[in-house]
């Protein structure tokens, strides 16, 4: 019996390799650590998608279910999901770039022709305006956002649109609607590059989101002359002209004195000129 116990001890001694067992433990630890890192990275990616594009998160979740259905290979599943995530990010960036190069503007006003259910702010009026001299359409195109209350296409907040947005291709010439003097050329984060003309008797016209302004401050401009070019500078969803008219510091609907075209040329065909 003693001999038998002695043989067992000798067998255990001969087959006991501390270095090998330590290596096995390290390998298991490395695998667990690697899987944990992958899970954290995927969690971060999904969080980013959730913050910036909920639709993309849903697409990614659907793709993950598709890749992992009836699958026992977790590594290939993770690789497939990772590739899909890269493709999603790439496509999102491409769409963002293309949106700024295509003709666009604002959003249709949802409150009816002249917002009769709400009074205008102090700096605006819905009242008719009469102008006896000739006037030129500054840019030919569709009206993508009319004068009055609307939900801002970028902020999503209710605001008052002080002019009209006219869609046009990049660098389309912008014409002076009325003869006058250039009193301001500038640029800011909201209007982008803009130019303001004074036409006498406290009447002014403003042209915003230009790609370039050609006329200079102090110049006398005749009706129909090129003063700028269409762009998408400032707070804009695409190439268009924001055209605005003011009388005594009060903005009014330019459609009262400018025929921008028939209702067939408008995106919102329920609205027509007077």
Distance CA 212, CA 268 (A): 29
Residue 264's CB is within 10 A of a number of other CB atoms, namely 7
Q: Give the position of tokens 């004195």.
A: 257
pLDDT confidence of residue 221:
96
pLDDT confidence of residue 36:
78
Question: Of the candidates 257, 250, 255, which has an alpha carbon nearest to the alpha carbon of residue 266?
Answer: 255
Residue 68: enclosing H or E segment and its boundaries?
helix 54-68
What are the pLDDT tens digits along the chain (274 aa)?
555 455 555 555 555 555 555 555 667 777 777 777 877 777 777 666 666 555 555 555 565 555 555 555 666 666 666 666 666 555 443 333 333 456 666 555 655 555 556 788 999 998 888 888 889 999 999 998 889 888 888 888 888 999 999 999 999 999 999 999 999 999 999 999 999 999 999 999 999 999 999 999 999 999 999 999 999 999 998 999 999 999 999 999 999 999 887 433 333 322 222 2
- Using alpha carbons only, give the angle 85, 237, 181 rounded to the nearest 5 degrees: 155
- Using alpha carbons only, give the angle 234, 235, 239 rounded to the nearest 5 degrees: 75
The answer to whether the predicted template modeling score (pTM) of the entire model surpasses 0.75 is: no
Q: What is the pLDDT of residues 26-69, one digit of tens each?
A: 677 777 777 778 777 777 776 666 665 555 555 555 655 555 55
């Amino acid at each position: 019996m003693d001999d038998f116990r002695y043989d067992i001890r000798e067998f255990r001694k001969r087959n006991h390799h501390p270095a090998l067992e330590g290596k096995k433990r390290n390998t298991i630890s490395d695998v667990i650590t690697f899987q944990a890192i992958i899970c954290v990275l995927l969690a971060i990616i999904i969080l980013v998608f959730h913050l910036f594009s909920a639709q993309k998160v849903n697409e990614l979740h659907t793709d993950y279910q598709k890749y992992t259905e009836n699958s026992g290979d977790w590594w290939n599943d993770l690789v497939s999901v990772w590739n899909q995530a890269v493709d999603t990010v790439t496509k999102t960036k491409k769409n963002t770039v293309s949106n700024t190069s295509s003709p666009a503007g604002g959003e249709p006003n949802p409150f009816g022709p002249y917002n009769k259910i709400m009074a205008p702010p102090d700096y605006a009026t819905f009242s008719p305006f009469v102008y006896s001299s000739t006037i030129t359409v500054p840019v030919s195109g569709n009206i993508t956002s009319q004068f009055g209350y609307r939900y801002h296409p970028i902020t999503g907040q209710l605001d008052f649109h002080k002019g009209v947005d006219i869609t046009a291709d990049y660098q389309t010439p912008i014409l002076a609607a009325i003869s006058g003097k250039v009193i301001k050329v500038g640029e800011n984060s909201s209007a982008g590059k803009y130019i303001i003309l004074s036409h006498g008797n406290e009447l002014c016209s403003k042209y915003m989101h230009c790609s370039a302004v050609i006329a200079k401050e102090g110049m006398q401009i005749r009706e129909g002359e090129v003063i700028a070019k269409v762009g998408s500078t400032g707070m804009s969803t695409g190439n268009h002209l924001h055209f605005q008219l003011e009388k005594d510091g009060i903005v009014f609907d330019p459609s009262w004195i400018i025929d921008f075209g028939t209702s067939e040329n408008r995106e919102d065909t329920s609205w027509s000129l007077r």
